[in-house]
Amino acid sequence: MIERKFVKQNVTEQSIQEYVMSRLSRAGVSHVKLQLTPLGEKITVFSSHPGLVVGSGGENIKTLTAALKKKLKLENPQIEISEITTPNSDAQIVADKIAASLERYGSKNFKGVMHRTITDVINQGARGVEIVLSGKIPGARAKCWRILRGYMKKCGDIAVTDVKFARAYAQLKSGTIGVKVKIMPSGIVLPDTVKIIEEKKTEMTAEEKPEEKEKEEKKEKKEKKKRSVKKKKEHEKEDKSA
C-alpha cells in the first residue's frame, strides 16, 4: 500500500511537470516539485524567468491553478516560484534554449548554436558538457551530431545520480529535431580523487628531545666548571696579595 502511494505521487508530479512545461515553454522552466501538505498540494516551479511564470497581475498563476484543479483533479494547488540564478548550469533550460533557437533561426547554423551553448555552460563553471542533436540537420536524411567538451562520466553511480540530463524537441518544417544535453557540475567529488594530506611538523620541547636535553646538561656542567676555576683564581690572587 505504501509503495502504491509513492508511485501515485510520482505519477502526479510527472504529469504536473509535463503540463506546466507545456503551458510555460518560453518561461525557462527547469522542473516542478510536488509536496503534499494538510492544506493542499504545494507545487514549486523552478524557473529562470519568474516574471513570465507569474504574468501581468498574476494571470498566468491563476489560469494555471484553475487548469490544474480541473484537468488533474487537485484539491487545493498552491503554486510557488523559485528563481534559478545560474540557468546555464541547468540541463533542461539549456536544452530548451537550443530547441527554441533552432525553431527560430532554422537548422542551418546548428553547429554555431551548439558551440555557443557549450562555451556558455563551461564559463558558468561546469566540469563537462555534452550536446547531441538528432534529425534532419540540415538535409533530407536524418543525422546525429554530438559535441563534447570537458570531462564527462559515462558509467557508474555518478553518471546516474549526479550528471544532469535533459531532453527537448524542436519542431521544424523538415521534421522534429531531438536535443539531448548532459552537464557535469563542478561540485561533484569523484571516487578516484586522491587527497594528499601533509604531515604537520610539531616542535618538540627540550623534555621530549633527549639529545637536546643532554647537550643542555653538558653546557651547564661546562659553565659550572668555568665558574669554579674563576673563583679559585680569584682566591689565589687574594692570598698572594695578603
- DSSP letters spanning 118-182: HHHHHHHT-SEEEEEEEE-SSSSS-EEEEEEEE----SSHHHHHTSEEEEEEEE-SS-EEEEEEE
CA distance 15 to 11: 6
Question: Could you tell me how far CA 187 lies from the centroid of its own chain?
Answer: 5
Task: Give the helix ranges, DSSP H, for the chain.
Answer: 2-23, 50-54, 59-71, 91-105, 110-124, 157-161, 210-241
Q: Which amino acid is at 21?
A: M
Closest CA to 176 of 134, 116, 237: 134
pLDDT tens track for 72-99 = 878 888 888 888 888 888 899 999 999 9
Q: What is the pLDDT of residue 205?
A: 55
Q: What is the pLDDT of residue 85?
A: 85
Q: What is the pLDDT of residue 122?
A: 92
2-85: what fold? GMP Synthetase; Chain A, domain 3 (3.30.300)
Cα–Cα distances (Å) from 132 to 24, 107, 118, in that order, read 24, 14, 11
Cα–Cα distances (Å) from 96 to 4, 123, 128, 148, 181, in that order, read 33, 19, 19, 18, 10
88-184: what fold? Ribosomal protein S3 C-terminal domain (3.30.1140)
Q: What is the pLDDT of residue 242?
A: 57
Q: What is the pLDDT of residue 115?
A: 92
CA distance 89 to 109: 23
* Under 8 Å between Cβ of 39 and 80: no
What is the separation, in whole angstroms, between the first and last Cα of the chain? Answer: 117
* Under 8 Å between Cβ of 107 and 138: yes
Q: Which amino acid is at 191?
A: P
pTM: 0.70
Full pLDDT tens readout for the chain, 242 residues: 677 877 887 888 888 888 888 887 777 888 888 888 888 888 888 888 888 888 887 888 888 888 888 888 788 888 888 888 888 888 999 999 999 899 888 888 888 999 999 999 999 889 999 999 999 888 778 889 999 999 998 888 888 888 999 999 998 888 899 999 999 988 888 887 788 888 776 655 545 556 766 777 778 888 887 887 777 777 677 666 65
Set of cell numbers at residue 54 = 507569474
Question: Could you tell me how far CA 161 lies from the centroid of its own chain?
Answer: 12
Q: What is the pLDDT of residue 165?
A: 92
Q: What is the pLDDT of residue 179?
A: 94
Q: Give residue limits of the domains in the chain.
A: 2-85, 88-184
